[in-house]
Structure 1
């Protein structure tokens, strides 16, 4: 403009130092921004930074304060005690239950609701459920003892629960049992944990077993409502079956009415059969366990109907339980079994069964028939009357007796059985007179003859073995004496003694005469001793029978005395217990708890010692040359060699007897 010309107004491409600015420099300038030195005079730069330093000094102070606060909070957190970890098992949850808290809940509810015992019990159930929040995989506790989980409850807690149940009264306890069964199913259906309900149901069933079968129809309806949900259904069955732990009749009725109807359901079959097995094993040896004739027939019919609808292994187990069941019946029978025998004979199929055709179920029925004959001799006459109507069944029974003679013959009375077999043999003989001969009749006739041969064969006295051992002893002593003299009898001690006495020659002649006479006497005894032995047995048999009957009467009288004494003790026991509780409260419970603890400790250490001993013998003793297989082989070889030598010596002995018997 100063030059008088128009100038183009635009951005200068030169920087302050005269260099031309490129586009890249402009971008860097925009990106990095202007520098402090380009804007503020150099003299003011120092003061500007000094203000910044003051701010930086103040900032760490604030940070230090924050760090101090954090440290205090951390120290406070570390000073707090660690929270206890929740238990992972039901035993652990029961062990940490606070007895004082439970007692406080019971006392408070008794004061607030003095006339409402159900409220007390429901509050106790709620408390137990809240304190035992443990998931249970097996609702039947099959891997634990029979009284689990009640056995894991501490004594103080258990005493409090027992006291509150007793204070509620039997009627209220019965009502609470039914209510708790429903609550158990309903709470499980909502996904809640119900271990408290299980504990209380088990305690009530222990004290009052009849509660489990008092409301059969309600229980069956409840079971039907939840049988499609196995965890709930099994929990209900477990609760129903708790009464059978102490009472066989209660357990049996619960099994028949509540367990049996669902035995064919896959999820329940194993538990239903297993419960019956445990019930019979627990009560089979108790005096109070009895089975009536109707119950026996009902069980037989039930097994017949259900055995083909179950898996093979469960069907086999069910038949085994039937065998145990019939043993209980016959052990407590009154020896009047004609009706039982008649009905059992008709339950056998009208066909001859033997060997593989006699399946395990029918084998149990035939064993029942044998027990009838063994315990009631009049069953033989009943059997004879059934020959024509039940000929095939009779043939099956005779075949079983013949096949198991060693076991059965000890039970049966030979005289009555012989009459029965002879009469049946006559029946077979009449049937064999026709042109067409039934194969079953032919086989049965042969079986009858075999049984008769077994009964008529005499038992020989073992004269051979007796003589053998006597001669072995004498010969051993003389042989040892002669062997010491180099095999020369006159030079042996025995020979010199006889020579000094002047009887050596006579003794040798007498010895030969003795051997000859002994040999002839032995042969005579071998021939005639069995005859005299049989006559002696026949003469002494009535006296033996009289002695046996006398012993039976004595045992029966002793049993009566024992029963009277037992009833007296049972009658007076509650009085004694009440007296002890009056003067020493809690003493009996403490003694029982200490005894149970002692038994558990002994059981535990005995098992541990057994396992240790077995492992030690297995790994340290019975190895190498002492291995069981090697010992078995050596023992078998030794037995074979011994048997061979004994047999050889016996034949030699027989030859010597015949030789000496021919000497005049």
Structure 2
């Protein structure tokens, strides 16, 4: 950490006053490379440092107590003896003796001495009580020195999103947080310091240190204060563009700025749209940008929190990257982005697509050209149909754009012809009005440009759609029902006229065609077989039942007893598990409820309100009206029976009802028969 030895081992005072102890160099700055030590001298990192390629150092520093420079060149034959303070702290020793490296981060964390870390932090705070930025820099330098492993990758994509912070113990997290709480105003500067130091180490081509300490400090800060990096994404975007020929630096910055997204979907989408989407076409940065988006959407299954983040300006570049061939993405990256496209589409359309989809319609329509790829054309036509189905304003937008997009409109009209059977009634009405408007426009344009092929395609599609609207399938069910009613009425009238079925014309026609004997034979055969089956069941079912009870009764009793004993044994053996389940089930239910999307609760609440409205507004009044009508009808019936309901009165009422119904049916049948005869006689 701190080193008091440099040159002759004495301190040199720079400035006019010696009382300001907080202006001395931080304890941990002597451990860092000279380039990093110059940056961490208490001056916040400015964007100009990144813009100059992390090469130019800041010259403006605070007046502080620093070791003097040696006036004589060092003698290679007689190396200087380190001071006692350098011997006590390994971070101030010989630079040629590198820190001890461990095989893995887990091993390094187990070997970390927390008591020593706390002592060093207390020492730093005692020496610089009014300069918290030095405490934080000492913390980052100490952790990065002690947590040395083989050189890291620029981004740990093969690890969990919260690596390496997820591997840190609770005790170490407590130490880090306790120090961060004491310096809330320095956190943004501290994150920039860690970014710069981490990038400097990763950018070295020769043997370099790992950067687990810096990553842990960055994740600890951004876990509680994500806006430390998301409040100024334009600055980081300018850094990426200036350093795009150095992908290691860019990937490290993308990893840092993307950390808040794993805890908050809104922050993650803000980072991806503001930082990673603009650099999606860069070959070295595109894989991580797509991988980050995939992790983000898989980690946050509830997409409702991200509604409103993606608009048409951001959505359609994603559509082009996913479906347009020969762009800067590889085939595998395009396939990966196409897999994420449905969830991006849900985020873009938001919670109220019925009021926003008309803003997406023009861009969808302009891309649906006859020459676009088949997969993209299918997706565009499906999206256009969805806009028309959900947002009625899309029809008015389409009518305004029709003359400028004739070829695209012909494709959409043909798609509507193919999918006409699945459209709703409300949409069919709007389509009819729109097609009629298009036909008027086609007639006007036909006089100006009679040989326009695009206009001919649109006109033919409009005519096909109108034929679809007019043409309906044969209503077989209605025809069958009407035929059944007329046949039944004719047979009843025939039997009523001739006095019996045997004397009726229907029976005569059946006898002449042979259907009468066939039906009588089938009826007799069916009756005979039913009688045989019934007699067999009466004779044999009691016998078989008695045998089954005799054979299976003891076995079933034994099975029931064993099952009961087994259940008791399982309950005794699983008492601990049942107790655990009883204690943790409420917490699990709460967790499950927190994971269920809010739209499900809103849907259930809306469904409940709808059912209550139907019950109070329609069902209950209908039941009350029916009850009143029944009560009134019963009272009229009792009055018609002179106040006493008897069987003779009921029989007379039934006779009157039957006679009136039969008379009505007979009159109706005769009227229809006379009408049919008159129509036939005219022809």
**Within 5 Å, which residues of 2 pair with 1:185-264?**
185-190=199-204, 191-220=208-237, 222-224=239-241, 226-264=243-281
> 1:555 aligned to 2:572?
no
Distance 2:456 2:286 in 1: 44
Give the distance between the partners of 2:142 and 2:321, measured in 1 at CA: 46
Does structure 1 residue 288 correspond to structure 2 residue 325? no
Question: Highest CA radius of gyration, 1 or 2?
Answer: 1
**1:304-453 matches, cutoff 5 A:** 304=320, 308-318=327-337, 321=340, 323-333=342-352, 335-337=354-356, 340-341=359-360, 343-344=362-363, 347-348=366-367, 351=369, 353=370, 357-361=372-376, 363-403=378-418, 409=423, 413-424=427-438, 427=441, 438-448=452-462, 451=465
1:323–1:364: 8 Å Cα contact kept in structure 2? no
Structure 1: segments with no counterpart, 5+ residues: 1-84, 467-481, 499-550, 560-664
Measured in 1, the distance between the counterparts of 2:385 and 2:532 equals 64
CA deviation after TM superposition for structure 1 residue 146, in Å:
1.6
Q: After TM superposition, give the deviation of residue 557 of structure 1 in Å.
A: 9.8
Give TM-score scaled by structure 2 length: 0.50
- Residue 371 of structure 1 deviates from its aligned partner by 3.3
Aligned mate of 2:153, from 103, 121, 138: 138
Q: Is the 2:188–2:229 Cα contact (8 Å) retained in structure 1? A: no
Structure 2 residue aligned with 1:273: 290
Q: In structure 2, what is the Cα distance between the partners aligned to 1:379 and 1:317?
A: 30
Q: Which among 172, 188, 191 is matched to residue 157 of structure 1?
A: 172
Q: 1:228 to 1:357 in 2, by over 3 A?
A: closer
Contact 2:283 2:328 in 1 (8 A): no
Kept in 1, the 8 Å contact 2:152–2:210? The answer is no
- RMSD between superposed Cα atoms in Å: 4.3
Q: How does 1:498-509 map to 2 (within 5 A)?
A: none
Distance (whole Å) between structure 2 residues aligned to residue 184 and residue 86 of structure 1:
17
Taking a change above 3 Å as real, the CA distance of residues 96 and 347 of structure 1, as seen in their structure-2 partners, is farther
Q: CA deviation at 1:426?
A: 5.6
Q: Does 1:126 align with 2:163?
A: no
**Is contact 2:165–2:219 with CA below 8 Å preserved after alignment?**
yes
Question: In structure 2, how many angstroms separate the alpha carbons of the residues matched to 1:162 and 1:410?
Answer: 58
Conserved in 2, the CA contact under 8 Å of 1:299 and 1:322?
no
Bigger relative contact order (CA 8 A; separation at least 6) = 2
Q: Could you say which residue in structure 2 is the equivalent of 1:57?
A: none
Separation in 1 of the partners of 2:136 and 2:263?
24
For 1:168-179, list aligned pairs within 5 A.
Answer: 168-169=183-184, 171-179=185-193
- Distance in 2 between the 1:111 and 1:402 partners? 80
- Gap change, CA 1:341 and 1:391, over 3 Å in 2: farther
Counterpart-to-counterpart distance in 1, 2:404 and 2:434: 15
Q: Could you tell me how far apart the structure 1 residues matched to 2:157 and 2:251 are?
A: 11
Structure-2 residue corresponding to 1:300: 316
Distance 2:125 2:449 in 1: 91
- CA pair 344-127 structure 1, distance change in 2 beyond 3 A: same
Measure how far apart 1:495 and its partner are.
6.5
- CA shift in 2, pair 1:261/1:301, >3 Å: closer
TM superposition shift of 1:496: 9.4
Corresponding residue pairs, total: 398
Per-residue deviation, 1:208: 1.5
Residue of structure 2 aligned with 1:111, choices 122, 126, 138: 126
Residues 356-380 of structure 1: per-residue CA shift (max 9 Å, x gap): 7444455554444333323322322
Cα shift at 1:209? 1.5
Aligned to 1:182: 196
SS state at 2:355 partner = coil
* 2-structure distance, mates of 1:459, 1:101: 89
Q: 2: distance between equivalents of 1:133 and 1:450?
A: 73
| 4+ long deviations beyond 6 Å | 429-435, 459-466, 495-498, 551-554, 556-559
Show CA shifts across 1:179-215 (max 9, x none): 1111111233342221111111122222212112334
